[in-house]
Amino acid sequence: MYMHKIGLISVMLAVLFLSACSSVREASSSKSQHGSHGTAPSPASTDEHSGHGGEMPKASTNLKAAFTFGSTSLQANEKSELTIQITDDAGKAVTDFQENHEKLLHLIIVNHNLSSFQHIHPVYQGNGKFTVSASFDAGGDYKLIADFIPSGGTSTTLSQWVKVAGKEAEHTVLKADAKLRQEVSGKDVELSLSSLKAKEEVTLRFTIRDAQTKKEITNLQPYLGAVGHVVILSADAEQYIHVHPLEEKATGPLAKFATSFPEAGIYKLWGQFQHNGEVFTVPFVVEVK
Protein backbone atom coordinates (compact mmCIF):
# COMPACT_ATOMS: atom_id res chain seq x y z
CA MET A 1 0.00 0.00 0.00
CA TYR A 2 2.74 2.38 1.00
CA MET A 3 4.75 1.61 -2.10
CA HIS A 4 1.65 1.93 -4.20
CA LYS A 5 1.07 5.41 -2.87
CA ILE A 6 4.64 6.44 -3.50
CA GLY A 7 4.31 5.15 -7.02
CA LEU A 8 1.16 7.12 -7.59
CA ILE A 9 2.61 10.26 -6.17
CA SER A 10 5.69 10.04 -8.30
CA VAL A 11 3.61 9.51 -11.40
CA MET A 12 1.54 12.50 -10.45
CA LEU A 13 4.60 14.62 -9.85
CA ALA A 14 5.99 13.51 -13.15
CA VAL A 15 2.84 14.56 -14.94
CA LEU A 16 2.70 17.90 -13.21
CA PHE A 17 6.36 18.53 -13.70
CA LEU A 18 6.19 17.63 -17.35
CA SER A 19 3.16 19.72 -18.05
CA ALA A 20 4.69 22.62 -16.24
CA CYS A 21 7.83 22.49 -18.30
CA SER A 22 6.20 21.79 -21.60
CA SER A 23 4.95 25.25 -22.35
CA VAL A 24 7.93 26.54 -24.27
CA ARG A 25 8.33 23.55 -26.53
CA GLU A 26 4.64 23.20 -27.06
CA ALA A 27 4.25 26.81 -27.91
CA SER A 28 6.97 26.65 -30.50
CA SER A 29 6.12 23.36 -32.14
CA SER A 30 2.47 22.65 -31.85
CA LYS A 31 1.04 26.10 -32.27
CA SER A 32 2.81 26.68 -35.53
CA GLN A 33 1.59 23.28 -36.67
CA HIS A 34 -1.94 24.28 -35.89
CA GLY A 35 -1.71 27.21 -38.23
CA SER A 36 0.09 25.46 -41.03
CA HIS A 37 -1.10 21.92 -41.32
CA GLY A 38 -2.60 20.79 -44.60
CA THR A 39 -5.93 19.19 -45.25
CA ALA A 40 -4.86 15.59 -45.00
CA PRO A 41 -3.85 13.97 -41.76
CA SER A 42 -0.28 12.85 -41.97
CA PRO A 43 2.23 11.11 -39.85
CA ALA A 44 3.97 14.06 -38.44
CA SER A 45 6.22 15.57 -35.93
CA THR A 46 4.74 15.57 -32.49
CA ASP A 47 5.04 17.42 -29.30
CA GLU A 48 6.97 15.38 -26.90
CA HIS A 49 7.53 15.98 -23.30
CA SER A 50 8.82 12.96 -21.63
CA GLY A 51 11.09 13.38 -18.80
CA HIS A 52 13.83 15.14 -17.12
CA GLY A 53 16.43 13.75 -14.79
CA GLY A 54 16.31 14.39 -11.08
CA GLU A 55 14.56 11.81 -9.00
CA MET A 56 12.25 10.65 -11.75
CA PRO A 57 12.88 7.28 -13.35
CA LYS A 58 15.14 7.63 -16.33
CA ALA A 59 13.05 9.08 -19.11
CA SER A 60 12.62 7.52 -22.49
CA THR A 61 13.87 10.46 -24.45
CA ASN A 62 12.47 11.80 -27.67
CA LEU A 63 9.70 9.37 -28.32
CA LYS A 64 7.57 9.99 -31.35
CA ALA A 65 4.02 9.15 -32.28
CA ALA A 66 2.86 8.91 -35.87
CA PHE A 67 -0.90 9.33 -36.16
CA THR A 68 -2.23 7.96 -39.44
CA PHE A 69 -5.77 7.41 -40.66
CA GLY A 70 -7.15 4.73 -42.96
CA SER A 71 -8.84 7.31 -45.12
CA THR A 72 -6.92 9.89 -47.12
CA SER A 73 -9.09 12.73 -45.87
CA LEU A 74 -11.12 12.99 -42.70
CA GLN A 75 -14.82 13.78 -42.96
CA ALA A 76 -17.09 14.84 -40.14
CA ASN A 77 -19.21 11.98 -38.80
CA GLU A 78 -17.37 9.34 -40.77
CA LYS A 79 -15.43 6.62 -39.04
CA SER A 80 -11.79 6.24 -39.85
CA GLU A 81 -9.29 3.74 -38.52
CA LEU A 82 -6.59 5.58 -36.61
CA THR A 83 -3.18 4.03 -36.11
CA ILE A 84 -0.78 5.43 -33.56
CA GLN A 85 2.77 4.18 -33.93
CA ILE A 86 5.12 4.92 -31.05
CA THR A 87 8.82 4.94 -31.84
CA ASP A 88 12.03 6.27 -30.39
CA ASP A 89 13.80 9.08 -32.19
CA ALA A 90 15.71 6.57 -34.30
CA GLY A 91 12.41 5.22 -35.59
CA LYS A 92 12.59 1.98 -33.63
CA ALA A 93 9.24 0.79 -32.29
CA VAL A 94 8.67 1.16 -28.56
CA THR A 95 7.23 -2.19 -27.57
CA ASP A 96 6.74 -2.13 -23.83
CA PHE A 97 4.17 0.02 -22.11
CA GLN A 98 3.19 0.32 -18.50
CA GLU A 99 -0.47 0.13 -17.64
CA ASN A 100 -1.77 3.40 -16.24
CA HIS A 101 -5.37 3.78 -15.07
CA GLU A 102 -6.05 0.29 -16.43
CA LYS A 103 -4.94 1.11 -19.98
CA LEU A 104 -1.70 1.11 -21.95
CA LEU A 105 -2.64 4.26 -23.82
CA HIS A 106 -5.29 6.92 -23.36
CA LEU A 107 -6.31 9.02 -26.34
CA ILE A 108 -7.97 12.37 -25.85
CA ILE A 109 -9.48 14.07 -28.89
CA VAL A 110 -10.62 17.70 -28.70
CA ASN A 111 -11.51 20.29 -31.29
CA HIS A 112 -9.83 23.67 -31.51
CA ASN A 113 -12.21 25.47 -29.16
CA LEU A 114 -12.61 22.51 -26.80
CA SER A 115 -16.33 22.16 -27.42
CA SER A 116 -15.77 18.54 -28.43
CA PHE A 117 -14.12 16.00 -26.12
CA GLN A 118 -13.50 12.29 -26.54
CA HIS A 119 -11.55 9.96 -24.28
CA ILE A 120 -10.99 6.59 -25.90
CA HIS A 121 -8.63 3.66 -25.59
CA PRO A 122 -6.86 2.42 -28.71
CA VAL A 123 -6.07 -1.29 -28.71
CA TYR A 124 -2.46 -2.40 -28.59
CA GLN A 125 -1.52 -4.46 -31.65
CA GLY A 126 2.09 -5.07 -30.68
CA ASN A 127 5.24 -3.52 -32.09
CA GLY A 128 4.43 -0.06 -30.75
CA LYS A 129 1.20 0.14 -32.70
CA PHE A 130 -2.23 1.09 -31.35
CA THR A 131 -5.43 1.23 -33.37
CA VAL A 132 -8.91 2.60 -32.82
CA SER A 133 -11.91 3.60 -34.87
CA ALA A 134 -12.23 7.39 -34.59
CA SER A 135 -14.84 9.85 -35.75
CA PHE A 136 -15.33 13.58 -35.38
CA ASP A 137 -18.63 15.30 -34.75
CA ALA A 138 -18.01 18.30 -37.03
CA GLY A 139 -15.45 19.76 -39.39
CA GLY A 140 -12.47 21.78 -38.21
CA ASP A 141 -9.19 21.32 -36.42
CA TYR A 142 -8.88 18.55 -33.86
CA LYS A 143 -6.05 17.67 -31.54
CA LEU A 144 -5.18 14.04 -30.88
CA ILE A 145 -3.39 13.55 -27.58
CA ALA A 146 -1.85 10.18 -26.74
CA ASP A 147 -1.01 9.68 -23.08
CA PHE A 148 1.05 6.65 -22.07
CA ILE A 149 4.00 5.42 -20.03
CA PRO A 150 6.75 3.47 -21.80
CA SER A 151 8.05 0.72 -19.53
CA GLY A 152 10.82 2.11 -17.40
CA GLY A 153 10.02 5.64 -18.51
CA THR A 154 7.79 8.45 -17.40
CA SER A 155 4.35 9.68 -18.29
CA THR A 156 4.47 10.85 -21.89
CA THR A 157 2.11 12.97 -23.93
CA LEU A 158 2.40 13.14 -27.71
CA SER A 159 -0.04 15.06 -29.82
CA GLN A 160 -0.99 16.00 -33.33
CA TRP A 161 -3.44 18.42 -34.91
CA VAL A 162 -5.56 17.09 -37.76
CA LYS A 163 -8.04 18.77 -40.05
CA VAL A 164 -11.51 17.34 -40.56
CA ALA A 165 -13.59 18.31 -43.60
CA GLY A 166 -17.21 19.27 -43.09
CA LYS A 167 -19.29 21.97 -41.50
CA GLU A 168 -17.56 23.42 -38.47
CA ALA A 169 -19.16 23.83 -35.10
CA GLU A 170 -19.87 27.40 -34.10
CA HIS A 171 -16.72 29.30 -33.16
CA THR A 172 -17.05 30.40 -29.60
CA VAL A 173 -14.52 31.93 -27.29
CA LEU A 174 -13.96 29.90 -24.18
CA LYS A 175 -14.85 31.81 -21.05
CA ALA A 176 -14.90 30.86 -17.42
CA ASP A 177 -18.14 29.42 -16.06
CA ALA A 178 -19.96 31.92 -13.84
CA LYS A 179 -21.11 29.05 -11.66
CA LEU A 180 -19.29 25.77 -11.12
CA ARG A 181 -22.41 23.68 -10.82
CA GLN A 182 -24.43 22.05 -13.54
CA GLU A 183 -26.68 19.18 -14.45
CA VAL A 184 -25.48 16.55 -16.86
CA SER A 185 -26.75 13.03 -17.57
CA GLY A 186 -29.20 13.18 -14.68
CA LYS A 187 -26.52 14.26 -12.21
CA ASP A 188 -26.06 17.54 -10.41
CA VAL A 189 -22.33 18.13 -10.30
CA GLU A 190 -20.67 20.86 -8.28
CA LEU A 191 -16.99 21.70 -8.49
CA SER A 192 -14.85 23.65 -6.09
CA LEU A 193 -11.16 24.41 -6.41
CA SER A 194 -8.93 25.11 -3.42
CA SER A 195 -6.99 27.69 -5.42
CA LEU A 196 -7.16 29.37 -8.80
CA LYS A 197 -3.61 30.60 -8.78
CA ALA A 198 -1.02 29.38 -11.25
CA LYS A 199 1.78 27.11 -10.00
CA GLU A 200 -0.01 26.33 -6.76
CA GLU A 201 -1.15 22.92 -5.65
CA VAL A 202 -4.87 22.72 -6.30
CA THR A 203 -7.45 20.31 -4.98
CA LEU A 204 -10.50 19.83 -7.17
CA ARG A 205 -13.57 18.66 -5.29
CA PHE A 206 -16.52 17.34 -7.25
CA THR A 207 -19.77 16.79 -5.36
CA ILE A 208 -22.17 14.54 -7.21
CA ARG A 209 -25.90 14.47 -6.55
CA ASP A 210 -28.92 13.09 -8.28
CA ALA A 211 -30.27 15.91 -10.48
CA GLN A 212 -33.89 15.18 -9.60
CA THR A 213 -33.84 14.34 -5.93
CA LYS A 214 -30.70 16.35 -5.08
CA LYS A 215 -29.64 13.41 -2.96
CA GLU A 216 -25.93 12.85 -2.73
CA ILE A 217 -24.74 9.87 -4.72
CA THR A 218 -22.71 7.52 -2.57
CA ASN A 219 -22.33 4.53 -4.87
CA LEU A 220 -20.22 5.80 -7.73
CA GLN A 221 -18.43 2.96 -9.47
CA PRO A 222 -14.74 2.93 -10.23
CA TYR A 223 -13.90 4.33 -13.65
CA LEU A 224 -10.49 3.28 -14.98
CA GLY A 225 -9.67 1.95 -11.54
CA ALA A 226 -10.49 5.09 -9.59
CA VAL A 227 -13.39 7.22 -8.40
CA GLY A 228 -13.06 9.29 -11.55
CA HIS A 229 -10.82 10.65 -14.21
CA VAL A 230 -10.09 14.32 -14.91
CA VAL A 231 -8.41 15.85 -17.93
CA ILE A 232 -7.47 19.53 -18.10
CA LEU A 233 -6.47 21.50 -21.18
CA SER A 234 -5.54 25.14 -21.59
CA ALA A 235 -7.88 27.13 -23.84
CA ASP A 236 -5.51 26.76 -26.81
CA ALA A 237 -5.19 23.00 -26.16
CA GLU A 238 -1.43 23.35 -25.80
CA GLN A 239 -1.19 22.52 -22.10
CA TYR A 240 -2.41 19.06 -21.24
CA ILE A 241 -2.72 18.21 -17.57
CA HIS A 242 -3.60 14.70 -16.53
CA VAL A 243 -4.95 14.84 -13.02
CA HIS A 244 -5.01 12.13 -10.36
CA PRO A 245 -7.56 11.24 -7.73
CA LEU A 246 -6.64 11.81 -4.10
CA GLU A 247 -8.79 9.01 -2.74
CA GLU A 248 -8.98 6.43 -5.47
CA LYS A 249 -11.44 4.20 -3.68
CA ALA A 250 -13.98 6.90 -2.91
CA THR A 251 -17.54 6.20 -4.08
CA GLY A 252 -19.05 9.66 -3.78
CA PRO A 253 -20.59 12.05 -3.22
CA LEU A 254 -17.14 13.62 -3.06
CA ALA A 255 -14.42 12.97 -5.62
CA LYS A 256 -11.15 14.78 -5.00
CA PHE A 257 -8.25 15.32 -7.39
CA ALA A 258 -4.93 17.09 -7.21
CA THR A 259 -3.27 19.17 -9.87
CA SER A 260 -1.47 22.42 -10.57
CA PHE A 261 -2.02 24.95 -13.33
CA PRO A 262 1.27 25.86 -15.02
CA GLU A 263 0.34 29.44 -15.87
CA ALA A 264 -2.49 31.97 -15.77
CA GLY A 265 -5.26 31.62 -18.31
CA ILE A 266 -8.49 29.88 -19.18
CA TYR A 267 -8.62 26.11 -18.76
CA LYS A 268 -11.30 23.59 -19.59
CA LEU A 269 -11.58 20.44 -17.55
CA TRP A 270 -13.64 17.31 -17.95
CA GLY A 271 -14.51 15.09 -15.03
CA GLN A 272 -15.57 11.55 -15.87
CA PHE A 273 -17.38 9.31 -13.45
CA GLN A 274 -19.35 6.10 -13.52
CA HIS A 275 -22.71 5.38 -11.94
CA ASN A 276 -25.12 2.49 -12.62
CA GLY A 277 -22.78 1.20 -15.31
CA GLU A 278 -22.79 4.46 -17.26
CA VAL A 279 -19.91 6.86 -17.66
CA PHE A 280 -20.84 10.53 -17.61
CA THR A 281 -18.63 13.46 -18.51
CA VAL A 282 -18.96 16.88 -16.95
CA PRO A 283 -17.05 19.86 -18.36
CA PHE A 284 -16.14 23.07 -16.54
CA VAL A 285 -14.21 26.16 -17.60
CA VAL A 286 -12.12 28.03 -15.05
CA GLU A 287 -9.86 31.05 -15.10
CA VAL A 288 -6.49 30.79 -13.39
CA LYS A 289 -4.90 34.04 -12.22
User: For binding to Cu ion (CB under 5 A), which residues are involved?
Assistant: 106
Q: Which residue, 120 or 176, has its beta carbon nearer to Cu ion?
A: 120
Q: Where are the alpha helices (DSSP H) in the chain?
A: 2-21, 23-36
What's the CA gap between 236 and 17, in Å, rounded? Answer: 20
**Residue 101 C-beta: closest distance to Cu ion, Å:** 6
**Residue 89 C-beta: closest distance to Cu ion, Å:** 25
Q: CA dist 103 to 32, 63, 89, 100, 130, Å?
A: 31, 19, 24, 5, 12
User: Cβ distance 64 to 89 under 8 Å?
Assistant: yes
Q: Which residue, 135 or 195, has its beta carbon nearer to Cu ion?
A: 135
**Residue 280 C-beta: closest distance to Cu ion, Å:** 15
**Residue 11 C-beta: closest distance to Cu ion, Å:** 14
Residue-by-residue DSSP string for 8-60: HHHHHHHHHHHHHH-HHHHHHHHHHHHHH--SS------EE----STTSPPP-
Q: Is 4 helix (H, G, I), strand (E, B) or coil?
A: helix
Q: Which residue, 83 or 281, has its beta carbon nearer to Cu ion?
A: 281
What's the CA gap between 258 and 263, in Å, rounded? Answer: 16
What's the CA gap between 199 and 35, in Å, rounded? Answer: 28
Q: Which residue, 119 or 129, has its beta carbon nearer to Cu ion?
A: 119
Q: Which residue, 150 or 253, has its beta carbon nearer to Cu ion?
A: 150
- What residue number has its CB nearest to Cu ion? 106
Q: Which residue, 156 or 209, has its beta carbon nearer to Cu ion?
A: 156
What's the CA gap between 78 and 41, in Å, rounded? Answer: 14
